[in-house]
């Protein structure tokens, strides 16, 4: 696994543009809502199993990499999982990263 960063400066990082959307947005697109905004069970179909397996492995690898540096992400959720143009999952939003073992 490698990390791709287009620009790194003291003020921050500029990363690759994720042309798809977050996993949260993708999952929301598969749900039907009632007129009052309530969620109804998934209707538009499930994600292909090959993508689910790929995303799970990519999430596992990303979390393991962060932990190998001695940190924990602290905010893994679908809205912080981005999809690129090839449907690869990228872990984002590192503002809750903490050293492993610190109290939160």
Measure Cα distances from 48 to 28, 70, 72, 87 in Å.
16, 34, 29, 11
Which of 36, 75, 84, 93 does the annotation list as catalytic? 75
Active site residue 93: no
Q: Helices (H), strands (E): how many in the chain?
A: 2, 8
Backbone φ and ψ for 77, nearest 5 degrees, come out as -155, 160
Active site residues: 75
């Amino acid at each position: 696994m490698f990390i791709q960063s287009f620009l790194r400066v003291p003020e921050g990082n500029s990363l690759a543009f994720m042309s798809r959307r977050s996993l949260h947005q993708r999952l929301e697109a598969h749900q039907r809502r009632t007129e009052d905004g309530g969620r109804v069970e998934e209707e538009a179909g499930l994600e292909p199993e090959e993508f689910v397996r790929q995303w799970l492995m990519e999430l596992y690898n990303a979390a393991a990499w962060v932990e190998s540096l001695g940190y924990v992400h602290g905010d893994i959720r679908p809205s912080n999982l981005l999809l690129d143009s090839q449907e690869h999952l990228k872990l984002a939003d590192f503002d809750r990263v903490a050293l492993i073992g610190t109290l939160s």
